[in-house]
């Protein structure tokens, strides 16, 4: 009889960070005096002030990448879109949502060959919409080597580098913060992917890179900050779709190391996903189990254009859903926007194929029975899993948050973690959560543009959701997006 493989580090991390009613009750409370600031303090005097920020109203442009369009891209990815004053502090709300409003994602850019900006690596300081000069010089040969000569890097004048500053989120969420840091970063890149085409640009996400090489280039302190996702910004053209076709690389699998103490998981699970050399994905990638479902959804994606940018600038997460249903056409359009069909020119939402599974929990969609469904993005169809109102179950599963109780529907992402790790190595934990965040941002923006409300939910009782979705407990629930009628 075959001996079952010991669980991978990703599986052990997932288990160690599951919420249960008893773990949530035992939470010691928050020490506000220990909260890290949401911005880095840069002492470098040299900054490049960007155009394309909050007061920019110039029409979209085309042609070679320039400083204006870089500014506009960064602003719509992760700029400050609202400042609210609270006693003793100003809260900077950003273009992308963030679990708990803690903003652990840092956005850097490598630039070469743009008029008005020296070649170099910069940190984006959203407070004054400027680039802080980290290092001047042309780093393209290093970046190219670190991305296994990714074809989009060769074409790009800009590479976005998203990192996570763990403690900003871990301060509140402990070891579970890594999940939210990844989801948050996916949202930031989701914005960039959505905003770029409005300015004749194309953002090509690059999830596989030599981690130590990037960390060395950026002088990151591995205990506190890790590079999560890169993206090349290319000028839109006929060859842009082909630039996505870089191979996937696997990382090793760690079935042996000892579990760390509480509070020490994050650098370990991040490091386990690191890639040092090009290890192609050899095992067969996990295949989805669903056949095309029995319910075909109306499929009418939203148009692009200026409305995309203004919606990002206005965006806020919905705090309270009102009573009221969303028609099945609305559900279909939101999903069509979030899951571009294979072969369509707009498939940058996908970092991975066939790893994430999508479940729709329907509580108030007119034209569709309440219940739980599997969604197949290739055929844009639903398969019924169970019927009946899921409101109480979703309410309880989302830590009794009213958003769960009152949503018209929830979109949930899961992955068969043991199978995914066997195919892609530990890196899949990172990539799948980034992708869930990226799709989450597309869901949010589609819902808001159609006049509905949306909020991500990162706090949930994992095992309750597995039961509701009727997926095995070994599958990881990555993310919940709630969508409904805003108050
Ligand atoms: C990964 C992620 C998880 C989130 N989880 C929750 C949640 O569990 N409950 C909630 O009310 N809001 C949640 N939010 C929404 C944030 O609270 C919200 O983004 C933040 O307060 C900033 O506000 P804004 O999105 O309106 O800019 C989440 C957002 C993200 C991106």
> What is the mean pLDDT of the segment spanning 254-273?
96
Region 19-44 average pLDDT: 88
- What does the pLDDT read at residue 244? 77
Q: How confident is the model at residue 285 (pLDDT cuts 50, 70, 90)?
A: low
Look at 143 and 306; give whichever has higher pLDDT. 143
Residue among 19, 80, 97 whose CB has most ligand 1 atoms within 8 A, to mutate:
97
**C-alpha–C-alpha distance, residues 100 and 457, integer Å:** 10
* The token pair that represents 249 in the structure block: 């690389």
Ligand 1 pocket: which of 81, 86, 93, 98 to mutate (most atoms <8 Å of CB)? Answer: 98
Q: Please tell me if the CB atom of residue 454 comes closer than 6 angstroms to any atom of ligand 1.
A: no
Q: Whose CA is nearest to atom 20 of ligand 1?
A: 101
How far apart CA 352 and CA 346 sit, in angstroms, is 15
Q: In the chain, what percentage of residues exceed pLDDT 70?
A: 96
Q: What is the DSSP letter of 273?
A: T
pLDDT tens, 374-418?
999 989 999 999 999 999 999 999 999 999 999 999 999 999 999
* CB of 82 closer than 8 Å to CB of 140: no
Q: Is the CB of 164 under 6 A from ligand 1?
A: no
What helix, strand, coil percent values describe the chain, rounded to 5? 35, 25, 40
pLDDT at 181: 98
Check if the beta carbon of residue 431 is closer than 8 Å to that of residue 443. no
Cβ of 184 below 6 Å from ligand 1: yes
d(CA 66, CA 387): 53
Specify the pLDDT at position 353: 79
Nearest-atom index, ligand 1, CA of 98? 31
440, 457, 481, best to mutate for ligand 1 pocket (most atoms within 8 Å of CB):
457
Residue bearing the bigger pLDDT, 26 or 409: 409
Residue 448 in contact with ligand 1 by CB distance below 6 A: no
179 lines ligand 1 (CB under 6 A): no
What is the pLDDT of the chain when averaged over all its residues?
Answer: 93
The total of other beta-carbon atoms located within 10 Å of residue 331's CB is 27
* DSSP per residue, 400-444: T-HHHHH-SEEEEEEEEHHHHHHHH-THHHHHHHHHHHHHHHHHH
The fraction of the chain above a pLDDT of 90, given in percent, is: 79
Query: What pLDDT is stored for residue 29 in this prediction?
Result: 84
Q: Is 456 in the pocket of ligand 1 (CB under 6 A)?
A: yes
- Per-residue pLDDT at 28: 77
Using pLDDT thresholds of 50, 70 and 90, give the confidence band for residue 283. Answer: low
Q: How far is the CA of 194 from the centre of ligand 1 (A)?
A: 19
Residue 139 structure tokens: 């780093």
- Report yes or no: 421 and 11 within 8 Å, Cβ to Cβ: yes
Instruction: Tell me the CA–centroid distance for residue 184 and ligand 1, in Å.
Output: 9
Q: Which residue lies with its CA nearest to atom 5 of ligand 1? A: 457
- In this prediction, residues 307-311 reach a mean pLDDT of 93
Count of alpha carbons within 13 Å of 7, Cβ hemisphere only? 14
Residues 6+ apart with CB under 8 A from 297: 328, 331, 332, 335, 336, 380, 381, 382
Predicted confidence at residue 349, as pLDDT, reads: 65
User: Ligand 1 in contact with 248 (CB < 6 A)?
Assistant: no
All CATH 3.40.109.10 domain ranges of the chain, comma separated, are: 30-272, 295-486
Give the pLDDT score at 410: 98
In this structure, which residue's CA is closest to atom 8 in ligand 1? 457
Please give the class, per CATH, of domain 295-486.
alpha beta
Q: Whose CA is nearest to atom 16 of ligand 1?
A: 99
User: CA dist 392 to 122, 172, 364, 382, 398, Å?
Assistant: 47, 27, 13, 22, 10
Q: 233-242, 301-310, 402-411 — which one is most confidently predicted on average?
A: 402-411
**Which ranges in 250-293 belong to alpha helices (H)?**
265-272
Ligand 1: centre distance to CA 140 (Å): 35
Determine the residue of 190, 317, 439 to mutate for testing ligand 1's pocket, defined as the one with the most ligand atoms within 8 A of the Cβ atom.
317
Three-state secondary structure call for residue 297: coil
Strand partners, 110: 121, 159
**Predicted confidence (pLDDT) at residue 343 exceeds the cutoff of 70:** no
The tokens of 4 are what? Answer: 């079952």
The reply to whether ligand 1 has any atom less than 6 angstroms from the CB of 38 is no
What does the pLDDT read at residue 300? Answer: 84
Q: What crossing angle do the helices spanning 177-195 and 265-272 adopt, rounded to 10°?
A: 50
pLDDT the model gives residue 287: 60
CA 272 to ligand 1 center in whole angstroms: 27
Pick the more confident residue, 119 or 288.
Answer: 119
Given this model, what pLDDT does residue 85 score? 96
Closest listed residue to residue 457, CA positions, set 483, 432, 435, 476: 483
Q: What is the pTM of this model?
A: 0.97
Pocket test for ligand 1, best of 95, 185, 455, 481 (most atoms within 8 A of CB): 455
**Ligand 1 geometric centre to CA of 69 (Å):** 28
Give the length of the chain: 487
Q: Is the CB of 130 inside a 6 Å radius of any atom of ligand 1?
A: no
Q: Which is nearest to 380 in space by CA: 431, 340, 323? A: 340
15-24, 37-46, 122-131, 415-424: segment of lowest average pLDDT: 37-46
How is domain 30-272 classified at the CATH fold level?
NADH Oxidase (3.40.109)
Specify the pLDDT at position 422.
93
User: Which of 81, 83, 99, 185 has most ligand 1 atoms within 8 Å of its beta carbon, as the pocket-test mutant?
Assistant: 99
Task: Give 7 Cα–ligand 1 centroid separation in angstroms.
Answer: 31
């Amino acid at each position: 009889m075959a001996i079952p493989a010991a669980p991978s580090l990703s599986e052990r991390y997932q288990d160690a960070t599951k919420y249960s009613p008893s773990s949530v009750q035992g939470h010691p409370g928050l020490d506000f005096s220990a909260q890290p600031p949401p911005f880095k303090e840069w002492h470098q005097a040299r900054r490049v002030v960007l155009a394309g920020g909050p007061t920019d109203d110039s029409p979209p442009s085309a042609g070679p990448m320039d400083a204006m369009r870089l500014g506009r891209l960064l602003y719509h990815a992760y700029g400050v879109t609202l400042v609210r004053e609270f006693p003793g502090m100003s809260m900077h709300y950003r273009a992308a949502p963030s679990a708990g409003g803690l903003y652990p994602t840092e956005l850097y850019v490598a630039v070469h060959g743009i008029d008005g900006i020296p070649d170099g690596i910069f940190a984006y300081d959203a407070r004054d919409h400027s680039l802080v000069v980290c290092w001047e010089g042309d780093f393209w040969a290093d970046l190219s080597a670190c991305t296994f000569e990714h074809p989009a890097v060769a074409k790009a004048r800009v590479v976005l580098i998203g990192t996570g500053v763990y403690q900003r989120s871990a301060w509140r969420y402990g070891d579970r913060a890594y999940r939210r840091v990844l989801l948050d970063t996916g949202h930031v890149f989701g914005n960039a992917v959505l905003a770029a085409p409005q300015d004749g640009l194309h953002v090509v996400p690059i999830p596989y890179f030599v981690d130590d090489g990037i960390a060395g280039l950026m002088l990151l302190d591995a205990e506190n900050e890790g590079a999560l996702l890169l993206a090349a910004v290319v000028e839109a053209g006929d060859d842009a779709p082909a630039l996505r076709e870089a191979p996937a690389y696997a990382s090793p699998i760690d079935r042996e190391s000892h579990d760390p103490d509480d509070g020490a998981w994050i650098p370990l699970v991040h490091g386990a996903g690191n890639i040092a050399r090009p290890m192609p994905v050899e095992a067969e990638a996990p295949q989805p189990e669903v056949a095309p479902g029995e319910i075909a959804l109306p499929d009418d994606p939203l148009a692009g254009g200026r409305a995309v940018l203004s919606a990002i600038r206005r965006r806020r997460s919905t705090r309270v859903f009102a009573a009221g249903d969303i028609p099945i056409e609305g559900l279909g359009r939101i999903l069509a926007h979030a899951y571009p069909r294979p072969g369509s020119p707009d498939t940058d939402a996908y970092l991975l194929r066939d790893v994430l599974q999508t479940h729709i929990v329907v509580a108030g969609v007119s034209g569709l029975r309440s219940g739980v469904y599997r969604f197949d993005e290739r055929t844009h169809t639903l398969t019924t899993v169970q019927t009946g109102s899921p409101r109480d179950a979703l309410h309880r599963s989302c830590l009794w948050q009213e958003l769960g109780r009152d949503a018209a529907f929830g979109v949930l992402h899961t992955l068969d973690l043991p199978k995914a790790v066997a195919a892609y190595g530990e890196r899949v934990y990172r990539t799948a959560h980034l992708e869930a965040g990226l799709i989450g941002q597309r869901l949010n923006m589609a819902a808001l543009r159609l006049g509905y409300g949306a909020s991500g939910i990162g706090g949930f009782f994992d095992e309750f959701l597995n039961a509701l979705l009727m997926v095995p407990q070994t599958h990881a629930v990555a993310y919940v997006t709630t969508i409904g009628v805003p108050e």
